[in-house]
Amino acid sequence: MPPGISTSDFYYILPELVLTAGALVVLIADVLLPRERRSALSWVTLAAVGATLASLLPFTSTHVEVAHGLLAVDRFALFFKIVFLVAAAITVLMSVRYLAIEGASPGEYYFLILCATLGMMVMAGGIDLITIFIGLETMAVSFYILAGFIKPNQRSNEAAVKYFLLGAFSLGILLYGMSLMYGLSGTTNLRVMATSFGAMAGDSRLALAVILVVAGVGFKIAAVPFHMWAPDVYEGAPTPVTAFLSVGSKAASFAMLIRIFVEGLPSASEDWRLLFWVLSIATMTVGNFAAVTQTNVKRMLAYSSIAHAGYVLIGIVAGTSRGITATLVYLMVYSFMQLGAFAVVVMLRRADVVGDELKDFSGLASRNPFAAFAMLLFMLSLGGIPPTAGFMGKFWLFSAAIDAHYYWLALIGVLNSAVSLYYYIRIVVFMYVKKETLGSEPTTSPTLAVVLAVAVAATLVLGVYPQLLFNVAAASARTLGAAGATAALR
């Protein structure tokens, strides 16, 4: 084998290279452009994301391992890369007005958004613990800085410090688990690991490694009991960053979770299924019940996002290819509704109002009927009411659980959805029933309108006509893993 990576490897990582180049262009343009023309940076960022999306086109049916098994270019990675890039584009569109109101400099902000996206893409493609860890670090470090990006704001600083300290600690636990996996198998490649773990099912040392990795990954997806950071960080971070954190970071962590457990540890699947079963129920229940008492919408959406991680875990517990498909579908659907909901919170950020309290939503229906309707739709979708995409996503998750004979899990999931409707509908009540209005008119801008239109369209179209997404997700789930991993997908 020739040393280093070959020229064909460079071809396969073309999307990552394009994104890196785009991020560097943004960084350099920030310091070279005069201050008054820096608002153009958002368009440069969007162009970089668009170019990366376009560079994914040659790889729609590729299925190869590159750089001696460090990265996989397959449809599973492709699916997640599309989720990340779309989420990044929507986040950038949301940020234009928000950064102007907060008076933050856009250059480093967009650079860090692109870096975080790059890290996510590496995480989704990684089939080696080292690659996955580097992607995770690239993403996490970018988010640590982004969470504290509004420097004069104390809550933003608090969010950054909390996220950094807890994040570093959980990464330590994750690394310890990974080092045990390496020590037991003698390799960091997940697919080689799967075969060498084949004879080790039931080994207590392997179980220890599984527990540690579950704890580390559980932190990243904000599963109960590793969720304590999420409400504080989501509340304190700039709203577009919160949106990207709750969508991109979560989806990337689920991609990592599926890669590590389904591809690398199929032989320990009894262990991790049980762990995720417990985590899933705890996460759904605690997330939903905690969200009921919140009066701050960003905090409420944080707890709601915790609860949604619990729903998504149902698909992982089921572990069938149908379960993984449902997970992918739900993550895509969740991205649109969550980003849309945060876009409405961004609209309520005005020069005189922070706009993330529940009472700030009062009277929104009369002031901006379109935003109120969009929020209504996102809330219904998050709650899982037809004909929205959220309903189809939940339907598939629960049916995958029933399919795999996890009846209790599906039942608890359905009951939790009913609980969650209470706090989603409460926002709708504030928008449509309460009349007293606070502060100036909600911020409107063409970019925010585009965000809302895209999110509304996706939520409706995927709810009414979900077949296309299901087919794509099913095809992506099928490409997962080499020979060893398909055994886990019963």
Partner 1 sequence: MQGWLSILIMIALGAGFALISVVLSSFLGPRKPTPEKLAPYECGMPPVGDARERQSVKFYLVAMIFLLFDIEIAFLYPWAMALRDLGWNGFAQVLLFIALLLAGYVYVWRKGALDWGGDQATARRRSTIGD
- Contacts to partner 1 by CB under 8 A: 2-7, 20, 24, 27-28, 30-32, 105, 151
- Contact between 170 and 216 under an 8 Å Cβ cutoff? The reply is yes
The label of the residue with tokens 């902000």 reads 109
Closer residue to partner 1 in complex, CB, 29/306: 29
Closer residue to partner 1 in complex, CB, 34/352: 34
Closest by alpha carbon to 40, among 95, 106, 116, 85? 106
Give least dist CB 238 to partner 1, A.
17
Give least dist CB 149 to partner 1, A.
13
Closer residue to partner 1 in complex, CB, 9/357: 9
Give least dist CB 78 to partner 1, A.
24
Closest by alpha carbon to 116, among 73, 93, 85? 85
Give least dist CB 211 to partner 1, A.
20
Closer residue to partner 1 in complex, CB, 27/139: 27
| Alpha-helical regions (H) of 259-368 | 269-292, 297-318, 321-348, 364-367
Closest by alpha carbon to 195, among 187, 207, 203? 187
Helix (H) or strand (E) holding 78: helix 75-102
Helix (H) or strand (E) holding 418: helix 407-432
Closer residue to partner 1 in complex, CB, 32/483: 32
Closer residue to partner 1 in complex, CB, 31/483: 31
Dihedral sign of CA atoms 171, 174, 178, 184 in order: positive
Give least dist CB 21 to partner 1, A.
9
- Contact between 174 and 164 under an 8 Å Cβ cutoff? The reply is no
The label of the residue with tokens 């970071």 reads 249
Closer residue to partner 1 in complex, CB, 152/435: 152
Give least dist CB 69 to partner 1, A.
18
Give least dist CB 90 to partner 1, A.
26
DSSP 359-407: GGGTTHHHH-HHHHHHHHHHHHHHHT-TTSHHHHHHHHHHHHHHHTT-H
CA dist 404 and 411 (Å) reads 13
Buried b / exposed e along 355-377 (16+ C-beta atoms within 10 A): bbbbebbbbbbeebeebbbbbbb
Residue type, 110: Y
Closer residue to partner 1 in complex, CB, 66/223: 66
Closer residue to partner 1 in complex, CB, 24/101: 24
Give least dist CB 31 to partner 1, A.
3
Q: Both ends of the chain: CA-CA distance in Å?
A: 35
Q: Which residues does 251 contact at the CB level (< 8 Å), separation at least 6?
A: 80, 83, 84, 87, 120, 331, 335
**Which residues share a beta bridge with 73?**
64
Give least dist CB 27 to partner 1, A.
5
Give least dist CB 192 to partner 1, A.
24
Closer residue to partner 1 in complex, CB, 3/186: 3
Closer residue to partner 1 in complex, CB, 34/57: 34
The label of the residue with tokens 């080292």 reads 130
Give least dist CB 16 to partner 1, A.
12
CA dist 364 and 370 (Å) reads 9
